[in-house]
Chain A
Amino acid sequence: MSRQTSRLDAKKVNSELLTLTYGALVSQMLKEIDNPDDVNKQLERIGYNMGVRLIEDFLARTGSNRCMEMRETADKIQQAFRLYINMQPTVTSWSSSGDEFSLVWDQCPLSEWVEMPNNGLKYCALIPGAIRGALQMVQLDVQCWFIQDQLKGDPVTELRIKYIKRLEDAVPAGED
């Protein structure tokens, strides 16, 4: 007699479980940390630490090469969204210099069934953190921020990503 759970793919988690776990995490943080801005920062940090590891998994799975252009990078980010949280964001609103773009989505497994407190909380701050962490590991310094947020009454959620600079690998200090 095998257990019921063994029929499920062990590598995937039910999206509702993720939604509720994430919701519980955020609401607990709101209780323990007084300032919502600090909660945003902590969520961003959690995302960052996830991104730093996630990128290795992504590279190993997809066998991607280095991107030569931000447009390629945008495609990869889109692919990662599909791979990890089964989301289909669209890449739009490129700036004329090609170093800034938006990811737009209208459905996100993280933000279902959420009732927002009116205190400046960025509920999905995990996502920009993960993107920043992942890209930092491939020597891209970027800035990510939300322009629109469905949870705050906008029609879609829009995340803006801006390329800052390329990080060069340097000799560790004191080793030359």
Chain B
Amino acid sequence: MSREEEGKLMYGMLFSIKSFVTKISPLDPKDGFLNYKTSKYTLHCLETPSGIKFVMNTDNQAQGIRELLKKIYSDIYVKYVIRNPLCGIGEPIISELFKNKLDVFIKQAPLTAARAS
């Protein structure tokens, strides 16, 4: 499956889950849809008020992924994509800088550090 196709499928799934969650919620949803869990993996989703979705698949033991995604948003995405005039809004991110910073960030995250030790 190509990356583009995978993206479309992911988008479609999240879109459906989100509208389902919004419809069955008795209150006004504050943070929206957060995560789901299967027997094999957990999918975490962070949607900013501006509609950008950050999605991460982890194993079922991972903790604190929401905070991690928030940090990716504020420390990596805003810093290296939004403030980068070469990155168009609503276009695929092709910045090498962003890729590298994200890679370093994830490798340093407590999540992977705990696993390695």
Contacts and interface: CB of A to CB of B under 8 A. Distances in A.
B33 to A, nearest CB: 13
The number of chain B residues touching the other chain, given as a range, is 20 to 34
A60 B74 contact: yes
B50 A138 contact: yes
B15 interface: yes
Contact of B48 (A53, A59, A68): A59
A75 to B, nearest CB: 14
A29 B31 CA distance: 43
Contact of B51 (A53, A68, A169, A171): A169
Contact of A53 (B49, B52, B83): B83
Contacts, number: 41
Contact of A66 (B30, B77, B78, B83): B30
Contact of B8 (A55, A64, A138, A175): A175
Given A53-B83, A57-B78, A60-B74, A66 B12 contact: no
A65 B30 contact: yes
B73 A138 contact: no
Given A64-B49, A138-B49, A56 B15 contact: no
A65 B49 CA distance: 7
Interface string A159-172: 00000000001010
Given A137-B51, A138-B49, A171-B15, A56 B28 contact: no
Given A57-B83, A59-B50, 8 more contacts: A56-B50, A57-B82, A60-B77, A63-B70, A137-B51, A138-B49, A138-B51, A171-B15
Interface of A: 52-53, 55-57, 59-61, 63-66, 68, 137-139, 169, 171, 175
Please name the 6 residue pairs, one residue from A and one from B, whose CB atoms are nearest each other, closest first.
A60-B74, A60-B78, A137-B50, A56-B82, A66-B49, A138-B49
14 contacts: A53-B89, A56-B77, A57-B82, A59-B49, A60-B77, A61-B74, A63-B70, A64-B49, A65-B30, A65-B49, A137-B50, A138-B49, A175-B8, A175-B12
